[in-house]
Amino acid sequence: MAEMQLARSERRNHFFFKHRLADETIRDVEVYSGPLTLKGKTLLYSIVHDITERKRIEEALRESEAKYRLMFNTSPDSVNINRLEDGLYLDINDGFTKLTGFTREDAIGRTSLEINIWDDPADRQKLVQGLREKGYYENLEARFRRKDGSIGTGLMSAGVISLSGIPHIISITRDITDRRRIEKELLKADKLESVGILAGGIAHDFNNILTAILGNISLARMHVKHGSKVFELLNSAETASIRASALTGQLLTFARGGTPVKETASVSRLIEELSLFVLQGSKSVCEFSIAEDFWPVDADVSQLRQAISNILINAKQAMPDGGIIRIEADNLVLEEGAGTQVKSGRYVHISIKDQGVGIAEKDLSKIFDPYFTTKKEGSGLGLAAAYSIIKKHNGHITVNSLLGAGTTFDIYLPASDKAIPKIKGADLLKGAGKILLMDDDMMLREMAVDMLEVLGYEAELAEDGTEAIEMYRKAKESEKPYDAVILDLSIPGGMGGKEAIKILLEIDPDLKAIVFSGYSDSPVMSSYREYGFKGMMAKPFDLNTLGKALNEVLKGSNIGHRM
- For 547, half-sphere exposure in the C-beta direction (CA atoms, 13 angstrom radius) is 19
Task: Report if residue 220 sits inside a domain.
Answer: no
Please state the φ and ψ torsions of residue 466, each to the nearest 5 degrees: -60, -45
Strand partners, 256: none
DSSP state of 353: E
Task: Report if residue 194 sits inside a domain.
Answer: no
Task: Report if residue 419 sits inside a domain.
Answer: no
Helix (H, G, I), strand (E, B) or coil at 17: strand
What is the distance between the alpha carbons of residues 369 and 424, in angstroms, rounded to a whole number? 38
DSSP state of 77: S
Phi-psi region of 146 (alpha: psi -120 to 50; beta: other; left: phi over 0): beta
Domain co-membership, 405 together with 489: no
Cα 336 vs. chain centroid, distance in angstroms? 19
Say which CATH number the domain at 452 has.
Answer: 3.40.50.2300
Say which CATH number the domain at 129 has.
Answer: 3.30.450.20
Residue 141's nearest CA partner among 149, 150, 152 is 152
What is the distance between the alpha carbons of residues 224 and 239, in angstroms, rounded to a whole number? 17
Please give the tally of structural domains in the chain: 4
Say which CATH number the domain at 408 has.
Answer: 3.30.565.10
Contact, 401 vs 364, CB < 8 A?
Answer: yes
Domain co-membership, 138 together with 45: no
Task: Report if residue 216 sits inside a domain.
Answer: no
Task: Report if residue 200 sits inside a domain.
Answer: no
Domain co-membership, 403 together with 440: no
Domain co-membership, 449 together with 531: yes
Domain co-membership, 321 together with 399: yes
Q: Which of 175, 198, 217 is the last residue of a domain?
A: 175
Residue 367's nearest CA partner among 385, 341, 347, 349 is 385
Task: Report if residue 83 sits inside a domain.
Answer: yes
DSSP state of 530: G
Q: Which of 175, 190, 223 is the last residue of a domain?
A: 175
Domain span at 439 = 433-561
Domain co-membership, 399 together with 517: no
What is the distance between the alpha carbons of residues 215 and 238, in angstroms, rounded to a whole number? 9
Give burial (CB, 10 Å; 0-12/13-18/19+) of 126.
Answer: middle
Domain co-membership, 447 together with 346: no
Domain co-membership, 505 together with 546: yes
What is the distance between the alpha carbons of residues 259 and 276, in angstroms, rounded to a whole number? 28
Task: Report if residue 360 sits inside a domain.
Answer: yes
Q: H-helix or E-strand containing 167?
A: strand 166-175
Indicate the residue type of 14.
H
Domain co-membership, 272 together with 410: yes
Q: Which of 349, 380, 414 is the last residue of a domain?
A: 414
Domain co-membership, 31 together with 82: no
One pLDDT digit (tens) per residue for the chain, 563 residues? 555 565 555 555 777 778 888 888 888 888 877 777 788 887 777 788 888 788 877 777 777 777 777 777 788 899 999 999 999 999 999 999 999 999 999 999 999 999 999 999 999 999 999 999 999 999 999 999 999 988 999 999 999 999 889 999 999 999 998 888 888 777 766 766 666 666 666 666 677 788 888 888 888 888 888 878 888 888 888 877 776 776 666 666 655 445 677 888 888 888 888 887 788 777 888 899 998 888 999 988 878 888 898 899 888 888 888 899 999 999 989 876 444 567 778 999 999 999 988 888 888 878 887 766 766 555 567 788 888 889 888 999 999 988 888 999 999 999 988 877 665 545 678 899 999 999 988 888 888 888 899 899 999 999 999 999 999 999 999 888 999 999 998 888 889 999 999 999 999 999 999 999 876 456 788 788 999 999 998 887 888 889 999 998 998 644 455 55
Give residue 239's pLDDT: 77
Task: Report if residue 207 sits inside a domain.
Answer: no
What is this structure's pTM?
Answer: 0.49
Q: What separation in angstroms does the CA of 548 have from each of 249, 275, 501, 557?
A: 22, 27, 21, 11
Domain co-membership, 391 together with 493: no
Interior angle at CA 135, CA 132 and CA 137, nearest 5 = 95
Domain co-membership, 407 together with 465: no
